[in-house]
């Protein structure tokens, strides 16, 4: 089969097209004829060598996938050839990814597209990693509550735009940070109640405006770096802080002073270490339920790419110009 692979670490141009062996499904696995994938920041970090969690080289990246079951392995129940499926099922550790004609996936990581889902099969590939990340943070780790006033940073980013929809689905009031009016309109369309233009308003100012200076009981940092410090500042006493990007050093004295709880979320743990695999169907079901109810949709960047244009897609996400998710179609 044809696949886009990396044979060394480096910039976006390290991707090359190669002919590789077509994989066969093992116990509890299916083979997917890939229709689409999407780009996540994790893949740029693996490609560059910053994060050493990628598959063995020649490495096929990308965990997000949508496609059609092509072959069913032994011991699989509930999936059949011809099923339309989606999930985040590879691209790290011992699991090759989706940038190929076929991909092997553990069925515990897959959802089935049903007639009740209006989202096209290709577009389903934009949701798995970001949805599972946001759900794990807001629900499983932070225990978001109905009526709670939460702050979600980068509301039109990959994880942020889905986090807004999950928080609203669960009855929270959502404040979010954006850089301009166009992104503010997109965030409002996703359900955001309160808009913060982070370039124009200090943390102290928007805390006062939106919470009477008390801060937010739950803050979700999807940016990292200096935004972790801003998130600590924005949190209320005894609040919870979730972050998906903590590869940085910070003064935690204010966390101590406020008695904050910090939750760090790295969604690849299950695939990398085999931990919590039996719990994955519960998370996938949450995504399927919201899709069937029409309560979640991806915010797609204006630029779409073919698999053979993966270098261009990486350049776009690293430029910071992409809005939402970048979709890749085979």
One-character DSSP codes across 26-74: -TTEEEEEEEEEEE-HHHHHHHHTSS--SPSSSB----EEEEEEEEE-T
Domain shared by 151 and 108, yes or no = no
Residues 50 and 74 in one domain: yes
Tell me the pTM: 0.95
User: What percentage of residues in the chain have a pLDDT greater than 90?
Assistant: 91
Q: Are 220 and 284 in a shared domain?
A: no
Q: Are residues 148 and 35 in the same domain?
A: no
**Residue 165 and residue 68 share a domain:** no
Confidence of residue 221 (pLDDT cuts 50, 70, 90): very high
CATH assignment of the domain containing 204: 3.40.50.720
pLDDT score of 268:
87
* Rounded mean pLDDT, 291-295: 97
Higher pLDDT, 272 or 316: 316
CATH number at residue 36: 3.90.180.10
Say whether both 94 and 178 belong to one domain: no
- The parent domain of residue 53 ranges over 2-126+268-329
Task: Please report the pLDDT score of residue 246 as a whole number.
Answer: 82
pLDDT at 248: 83
Question: Other CB atoms closer than 10 Å to residue 74's CB: what's the count?
Answer: 9
Q: Which of 134, 141, 201 is nearest to 168 (CA)?
A: 134
Does the pLDDT value for residue 101 go beyond 90?
yes
Both 95 and 84 in a single domain? Answer: yes
* Structure confidence at residue 262 as a pLDDT band (50, 70, 90): very high
- Which of 291, 280, 285 shows the shortest CA–CA distance to 115? 291
Domain count, the chain: 2
Peptide bond between residue 58 and the one before it cis (omega within 30 degrees of 0): yes
Query: Which DSSP letter does residue 156 get?
Result: T
């Amino acid at each position: 089969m044809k696949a886009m692979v990396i044979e060394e670490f480096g910039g976006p141009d390290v991707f090359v097209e190669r002919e590789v062996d077509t994989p066969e499904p093992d116990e509890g696995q299916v083979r997917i004829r890939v229709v689409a994938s999407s780009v996540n920041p994790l893949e740029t970090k693996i490609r560059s060598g910053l994060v050493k969690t990628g598959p063995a080289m020649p490495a096929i990246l990308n965990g997000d996938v949508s496609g059609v079951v092509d072959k069913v392995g032994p011991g699989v129940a509930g999936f059949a050839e011809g099923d339309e499926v989606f999930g985040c099922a590879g691209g790290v550790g011992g699991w090759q990814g989706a940038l190929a004609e076929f991909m092997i996936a553990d069925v515990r990581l897959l959802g089935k597209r049903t007639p009740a889902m209006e989202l096209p099969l290709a577009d389903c590939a934009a949701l798995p990693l970001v949805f599972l990340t946001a759900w794990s943070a807001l629900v499983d780790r932070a225990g978001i509550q109905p009526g709670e006033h939460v702050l979600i940073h980068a509301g039109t980013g990959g994880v942020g735009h889905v986090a807004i929809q999950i928080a609203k689905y669960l009855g929270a009031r959502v404040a979010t940070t954006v850089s301009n009016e166009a992104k503010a309109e997109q965030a409002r369309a996703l359900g955001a109640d309160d808009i913060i233009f982070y370039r124009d308003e200090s943390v102290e100012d928007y805390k006062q405006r939106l919470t009477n200076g008390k801060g937010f009981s739950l803050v979700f940092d999807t940016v990292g770096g200096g935004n972790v410090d801003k998130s600590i500042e924005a949190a209320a006493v005894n609040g919870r802080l979730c972050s998906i990007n903590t590869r940085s050093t910070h003064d935690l004295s204010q966390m101590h002073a406020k008695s904050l709880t910090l939750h760090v979320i790295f969604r690849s743990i299950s695939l990398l270490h085999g931990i919590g695999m039996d719990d994955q169907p519960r998370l996938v079901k949450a995504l399927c339920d919201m899709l069937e109810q029409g309560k979640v949709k991806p915010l797609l960047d204006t630029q779409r790419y073919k698999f053979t244009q993966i270098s261009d897609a990486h350049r776009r996400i690293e430029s910071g110009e992409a809005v939402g998710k970048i979709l890749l179609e085979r």
